[in-house]
Structure 1
Amino acid sequence: MKVSIIGSGYVGSVSAACFAELGHEVICIDIDEKKVEMINSGRAPIWEEGLDELLEKYSQKTLIATPDYDYAVQNSDASFICVGTPSGKDGSIDLSIVKAASASLGKAIAKKDHYHVVVVKSTVVPETTEKVVLPIVEENSGKKAGKDFGIVMNPEFLREGKAVYDFMNPDKIVVGAIDERSGFVVSELYRGLNCKVTHTNPRTAEMIKYVNNSFLATKISFANEVGNICKQLGIDTYEVMDAVGTDFRIERRFLNCGAGFGGSCFPKDVKAIIGKANEIDYKPQLLESVVDVNDRQPLKMVELLQGKLGELKNKRIAVLGLAFKNDTDDIRESRSIPVITELLRQGTDIAAYDPMAEESMKKVFHDITYCKTSSEALEEAEGCLIMTEWDEFRKLDKEFGLMAGKVVIDGRKMIDPKKLSMEIDYEGICW
């Protein structure tokens, strides 16, 4: 089949490359000329494992990029909206980019004689597809949904760093269509994957995405709350969760406690569903608590550091890990950001290191020292905060000998002080 993908960010570029891998012809639509140029030259506009290889394999063959909506719509059967949905100042979802894409798509569909399917893959709150996207496309196309064009909500469930793998090996595919015809078209796109398709309506598909992410976020905040209690009682929270996780109703994954969750999905999605709940006059107390626990958790790193070093002003502190998780350069909602903000407020001299996210973090903090290695960051530091689960941090040992104070606060359970060749003043955030 022939598909067009609106937006060449994280979801769009991965979807485009993977649809090409499934044998479809793909046209990427993006107003950013640099992204268009990169895709057409076989280079990924973001870092994602395996993405460069797929783009290099299919670029200028069955995958091209263009800023021209008319060309893309005329030469495809379905268009996927894969643009960003950032949080507004109050935490509610900002649909401005989705609305703009829907309007442009509608104008292009107006010039097309044949049936076209509009697929919303951007994460949007329930009722958005039917009450926002659909009327905008109808207004700008002069055509009728369900008759002249189809509307489908098809949420993504991709982990950053493993998105290509997750797309090609899904545990669920959800297709929320307004009619049988459009649902069939989208389902056919995934025919090459070994996964059952769940058919539903658009608002249910939208809700499935939010419930999925909100539940995982809840597990993390629950684990952190329990971890904080266990630490005060001298209990190994990981031992507790290992046992609790053997219960098939609970499952072990996402029960590791630490400095909290970040990224482009969990924080934004939980806040968005809270905003939607407030809109219908329901107070989601549990979800609000999930956010509150996550907001407080990283600052415990600074509190533990103060407990070891006292006043932090003018002290050199190494911050290891800037990305919100390992295997990505994404710093969105990284737990390092509130930690660095608080350290700067206290007048700390920060030496930061991350194997991939330095350039991204420079856009947020200009006045801290960025180092090229862990050793450089640790040299003469009086304290160290480990914020991201990079595998190389697990191997640190003699590098701690470069420190002046040897105080290590671990936010991700990366270090086993008993296995080190030297003594350090070690403290885990929840253990």
Structure 2
Amino acid sequence: MNTNAMMRFFRRLMLVLNFMTCIYLTFIYAGTPCFAVQEFAGLRFAQELSALPDEPWKLFSIPFGLCILLLIRACFRRKETFRAAFWLEPLFCLMITFALHLDYNGLLLLAVVDLVDGLRGRRRALFLGGMAALYLLTSMDILPPQMNMVTFAEYLTFYDTHSRQLLQNMLSLFSALNLILFLVYMVLLVGQRTEENDAAARLNRELEQANGKLVMLNERLKAYAAESERMAETRERNRLAREIHDTLGHTLTGITAGADACIEMLEISPEMAKKQMERIAAVARQGMNEVRRSVSALRPDALERLQLPEALRQLCEEMQQTSRALVRLRLETQELRLSADEEDAVYRIVQESVTNAIRHGQASEVWVSIAPVDRSLTIIVQDNGIGCKTPKPGFGLRHMAERLRLLGGTLRTDGTNGFRIEASLPLRWGDSV
């Protein structure tokens, strides 16, 4: 049983005990005169009293007042903001106490138990101070003589010693039990408030610790955001450098090879040289468009207009037309479903590899093969150029490797017999071979 349940139990127990005490006193006040009359001792009983007993109708005010007290308690429990009920309960408890000739004032303790839990701060202090003053005042014997009240002890003088002692002990027992229940309730209330204060203090400490952790995490988050921003800037610079290198390198290689061919054809066939210059101009314009699209983070112009196989064929044909090299292409990608970033990587790898073969390897023939192998797309570019036994990765090779790494692929090179580039790009789930 938790503390709240125990407090409710003792509060109800006090209510029952106070009702029993009030009914007991009412029975003594009403029954003793009737018993004296039956014993033909009414005159003697009246002469021994300090004042006349209450009229019978006045005694009915006690159970009537108890019923009103129950109604007030029910209203107060249903609606704690009912302030009138808050002051009415102590008032009716005081009225019933006076109706009981001030022989029992335990109802004031019941009012304290009912109302103290709903008060805070200054209101609680004022309430407890006022109820303590009333309790002390009603406990004194100076008021009954001044108000012509017949006390419980005077009613007991009619009975014999044994009965008188028994009846007096009954009232003392009720009063003692009521006081014990009151003290137990107040101890439980103080303990509950102490636990609540401890819990609030513990919660405040936890909140302070959590706030400290949040401040620390916020600082880390700011540092992480700054680092992420720097990394994003670095990635963007690398992307722009890679894209411009791929587009400008390819375009300038085509222009250089085409210009060399024009120089040789000027003396032999000016008409052919003119056509070659027109091809060079077209390649230059296309390269300018590629640079603009790279800066805008768009795909290669060929992939915007064409599917990947057609774009690769056009790339190889243009390289063959603007240079003196023969570029052969073998594609087995018709059944593949590649994402946009995968198509970009395949196109740029082929573009960079063919450009390097013509520009650096001085190759006259280049073979390009693209085919799926064991859920991977293999790209092989082989030329018959001068090769390089110990190739040093330049800008182009580094960025090819970086593109593949971002997609989980690998890059291998071999310069012993011409130059060979072999790239492997894993196919994602859903791609069919």
Q: TM-score range by the shorter chain?
A: under 0.3
> Rg larger in 1 or in 2?
2
Query: Higher strand proportion, which one?
Result: 1
| TM-score using structure 2 length | 0.21
Q: What TM-score, normalized to structure 1?
A: 0.21
Whichever structure has more helix as a proportion of its residues is: 2
